[in-house]
A = this chain, B = another copy of it.
Amino acid sequence: MEFVMKPIGVIHSPFTNKKQTPIQPTRSQAIGRVEVFPEFADGLRDLEGFSHIILLYVFHKSHGYTLRVKPFLDDQLRGLFATRHPCRPNPIGLSVARLLARRENILDIEGVDMLDGTPLLDIKPYVPDFDVRTDVKTGWYETRSKD
């Protein structure tokens, strides 16, 4: 079984290589721009009412994967699916960004942690009722060796 995904846009960011790129959007105040292809612009109506959006995108510079990886924030090998490492069987990235403004098919966003030119797969509104959980445990991340 296979599913073919085609980008609906491209994410522009200040980061042109992995070393510059923040590890997660909460660690970034970087400004970026989401260019949604004009044929999808009509689907962006009402999005400007939301302060935050979920971006799903392709880690397009990641090739291959291993099932044990050393997270950027730790020095031990961990199971890949217990990390946010970009090299995954389906290399889909997920980031929550602040939506600063929409101008037709262009979204100005803050808190960018993706590479310039990242292919965009989907945009969803960030809704705390759906997306926020309390009383959360975070395993190795709680006792990570780096910060």
Contact = CB atoms under 8 A, between A and B. Distances in A.
Q: Secondary structure of the A side of the interface? A: mixed
Number of copies of chain A assembled together: 2
A135 B68 CA distance: 36
B40 A82 contact: no
Interface in A33-78: 36, 40, 42-52, 54, 56, 58, 67-68, 78
A61 B72 CA distance: 37
Interface of A: 1-8, 24-26, 36, 40, 42-52, 54, 56, 58, 67-68, 78-84, 88-90, 92, 94, 96, 98, 119, 121-133, 135-142
24 contacts: A2-B4, A24-B129, A24-B130, A25-B130, A26-B129, A43-B67, A43-B79, A43-B82, A47-B81, A50-B136, A51-B135, A54-B94, A81-B123, A83-B125, A84-B124, A89-B122, A90-B121, A92-B122, A96-B130, A98-B133, A126-B133, A129-B141, A131-B131, A132-B132
